[in-house]
Amino acid sequence: MAKPFAAAGQTGSARAQIREDEFAAQALPHMDDLFRIALRMTGERARAEDAVQETFLQAWKSFDKFEPGSNCKAWLFKILFYSVHHQRRKWFRFPVAGDSEEILQSVAAADEPIADKLTDEQILGALEALPPDYRAVALLVDVEEFAYREAAQILEVPIGTVMSRLSRARKMLREKLADAARSCGVLKDDSLRDAPKRDEPKEDPK
């Protein structure tokens, strides 16, 4: 494999070079995924780039602690979400989502948006309108295909919290997309109206 850091210069140590190569080989392939998730979490390309750079810097600094053979992608995403959460507090941009009844009640019953009638812009707009804690779970599980257990470790919440947030996130997303579809006149089929919930999972206490 080509040495991604070779152009930046020699380290003066074969051992250091091997370590760099390991880091490059394991971490860099996940950069695009990290950026796309960071973009959806921050809403701005510049901030997403900063978050990704910060993630790799922190990962590099603590690469000694990374256990070979463990899940590098999950490790990087854990650092990314820590970074994004830290930045979020600095930016004061996002209201941190509690499990407000107002939010949950707003998704009690949803029409079904027709997937192939929606544009990417509508989908991304609806996704970004989700409270960030819910959006994070949806991105990790539904986009990056992490297992619940991995998502729970990345976000440092109980697995039950991941499950309940995911369920609610999907429901909220459908509702928001249904609104978007309705405004475009493409939601016609009442037969696809969401059924009343029977056993909505409750969020586990942390």
Partner 1 sequence: MTQADGVLTCAEVRAGMDDYRDRRMDATDASLFEKHLASCEVCRGVLENRIALLGRVKGAVRGAEVPPDLAHRVQFAVARTRAPQRFIVGTFGKTAMSIAAALLITAGAFYFWPEGDSGPPKETQQQFIARVSSQVAPVMRVGLNQHLHCGVFREYPAIAPALSELVRDKQVSAALVDAVETHAPRGLHVVMAHHCRYEGRQYIHVVARGDGHLMSLLITRKTEGESIAGDLETTASSGPDVYSIDAFETPGYLVYLVSDKTSAENLNTLKAMEPLVKAALL
Binding site for partner 1 (CB under 8 A): 4-5, 7-12, 16, 23-24, 28, 31-32, 35-37, 39-40, 45-46, 49-50, 52-53, 56-57, 60-61, 112-116, 118, 120, 123-124, 127, 138-139, 142-143, 163, 166-167, 170, 173-174, 177, 191-192, 194-200
* Closer residue to partner 1 (CB): 14 or 195: 195
* Closer residue to partner 1 (CB): 103 or 159: 159
Q: Are 138 and 169 in contact (CB under 8 A)?
A: yes
Min dist CB 123 to partner 1, Å, is 4
Location of structure tokens 């991105």: 139
Min dist CB 165 to partner 1, Å, is 12
* Closer residue to partner 1 (CB): 1 or 115: 115
Which residues, at least 6 apart from 115, have a Cβ–Cβ distance to it below 8 Å? none
Alpha helices in the chain (DSSP H): 14-27, 31-42, 45-61, 72-91, 101-105, 120-128, 132-138, 148-155, 159-183
Min dist CB 101 to partner 1, Å, is 19
* Closer residue to partner 1 (CB): 60 or 82: 60
Location of structure tokens 């959460």: 85
Min dist CB 167 to partner 1, Å, is 5
Min dist CB 102 to partner 1, Å, is 21
CA gap 90, 42 in Å, rounded: 12
Q: Are 128 and 93 in contact (CB under 8 A)?
A: no
* Closer residue to partner 1 (CB): 8 or 14: 8
Min dist CB 26 to partner 1, Å, is 13
* Closer residue to partner 1 (CB): 101 or 120: 120
DSSP class per residue in 19-41: HHHHHHHHHGGGHHHHHHHHHHH
CA gap 176, 146 in Å, rounded: 24
Query: Side chain identity at 90, as an amino acid letter?
Result: K
